[in-house]
Structure 1
Amino acid sequence: MTPIQRTQDAVRILCDAFLEDAPMRWLFPGPPEQRRLSAGRLFEGAVAESAAAGTLAMTGADAVAVWLPMPVGAHVAPPPEVELPERVRIMVELLAQRHSTDRAHLYLAFLGVAPERQGAGIGGALLAEGLRRADAEGLPAYLEASSPRNVPLYERHGFHRLGEPVHLPDGPPVWPMWRENKEN
């Protein structure tokens, strides 16, 4: 598979996995096909960045994990001069308030499983693989759970909630979570 095909497949898996996700519906409240197009543009940048860093993980056409290495001082929120749709900017800025900049870590920006394969343990296996990498590198990990259903999965993998969930204005909650690296 070519690198371009790999990133296109990753974006497609994420679009399918997150199409009916509550925060995604809040971000892009239009009809599903418009939401898919908008979400695809959102995912493309993160997937490309993860692929360039060598941290994009996939299991065939079933699941994808978009890990981003975050050095000390790195900010997730783009500078104000970068134009983003209003709701995307609001969400990014709210979540950035909880995202640590004082410690290097791996950021799980997205973990998506094809809808017909959800609940089969594929996402958990892909998550465990990324966490083994974080542990090998001596790095903690950070993510934002977009569904209350996913919080226990992440807790089983050693993540803990960073306080109360972030509530999007007139929208759903999102749970920032942190996991310390395991001692080697």
Structure 2
Amino acid sequence: MKHSNDIQLQKSSEVIQLQKSQVSAASIVAAKAFEDDPILAYIISDDREFRLQSLTWLMSKAIAYSTQYNHVYTTQDLDGIAAWLPPEKVSSSLLQLLKMAWSLQLYALPTKIRWSRLGRCLKLLLAIDQAHQQDMGDRPHWYLNVMVVNPAAQGRGVGSQLLQPILQRASNEGIVCYLVTFVEPAVRFYQKNGFEIVQAQKIAPDAPPFWTLKRNP
């Protein structure tokens, strides 16, 4: 017989859909997890408080955008967030990219980062988009828009659990999964979950790298 504490722990770690009412809380969790990523410091600001505020805004837009497609996963305690874009909503066409940029309110980006870093930010966005087109072209694929684990919940397998709904679906449907990440430990995490590195790039000699990865079905 399971003890009540075991049942409660199992329930709290169960993968569920993120609700729109949780976007604000989820964006805070995501921003805290990403605030020390070196490339985000490079493109936003060295000021930790300013960077956290900017990241909270960016994460709220990215997560809210993803919720409209009903593939954003979390746990009861918001231990992490995995936000996917489905194949029919992932496109490298200019019109689709402009629509996404408008929905994400990227026109407000200059007010959310240091002016001196705006060029770096735009250069990174362009490099990621070009790599995406090179890697996937018109091939249908699931795109991992946001993947984060609350620092307090890391090391418990939460990240792998959150990936499973779409990894399993993609395997069943024969569709590739694709993502971009900015930290090397995350690369190793994704490799353990069946992804392989496609590209590793830097936007400048002094910039931290980013990696693109895909998982074949």
Shorter-chain TM-score range: 0.7 to 0.9
CA contact (8 A) 2:83 2:146 kept: yes
Gaps of 5+ in 1: none
The share of aligned pairs that are identical, in percent, is 28
Q: CA shift at 1:5, angstroms?
A: 2.7
1:121-132 matched pairs, under 5 angstroms: 121-132=157-168
Q: CA shift at 1:75, angstroms?
A: 2.6
Q: Alignment partner for residue 201 of structure 2, among 166, 174, 177?
A: 166
Structure 2 residue 64 is matched with structure 1 residue 31: no
Deviations 1:11-40 (CA, angstroms, capped at 9, x unpaired) = 111111101111221221242221111112
Structure 2 residue 51 is matched with structure 1 residue 52: no
Deviations 1:45-80 (CA, angstroms, capped at 9, x unpaired) = 221121100011112321001111243871398449
1:131-170 matched pairs, under 5 angstroms: 131-163=167-199, 165-169=200-204, 170=206
- CA-based RMSD of the aligned residues comes to 2.5
Q: Alignment partner for residue 151 of structure 2, among 106, 115, 121?
A: 115
The residue number in structure 1 matching 2:91 is: 74
Q: CA shift at 1:105, angstroms?
A: 1.0
Distance 1:118 1:166 in 2: 27
The residue number in structure 1 matching 2:3 is: none
Q: Alignment partner for residue 41 of structure 1, among 45, 57, 63?
A: 57
The residue number in structure 2 matching 1:65 is: 82
Q: What letter corresponds to residue 64 of structure 1 in structure 2?
A: I
CA contact (8 A) 2:18 2:67 kept: no
Q: CA shift at 1:8, angstroms?
A: 1.2
Q: Select the structure that is richer in helix.
A: 2
CA contact (8 A) 1:67 1:109 kept: yes
Q: Alignment partner for residue 126 of structure 2, among 79, 84, 93?
A: 93
- Residues 179 and 34 of structure 1: CA distance in aligned 2, closer, same or farther (over 3 Å): same
Q: Give the 4+ runs in structure 1 shifted more than 6 A.
A: none
Give the TM-score normalised by structure 2: 0.74
Q: What letter corresponds to residue 20 of structure 1 in structure 2?
A: D
Distance 2:71 2:174 in 1: 15
Gaps of 5+ in 2: 1-16, 111-117
Higher gyration radius (CA): 2
Distance 1:2 1:24 in 2: 25
CA contact (8 A) 2:18 2:72 kept: no
**Count of residue pairs brought into register by the alignment:** 180
Distance 2:47 2:180 in 1: 25
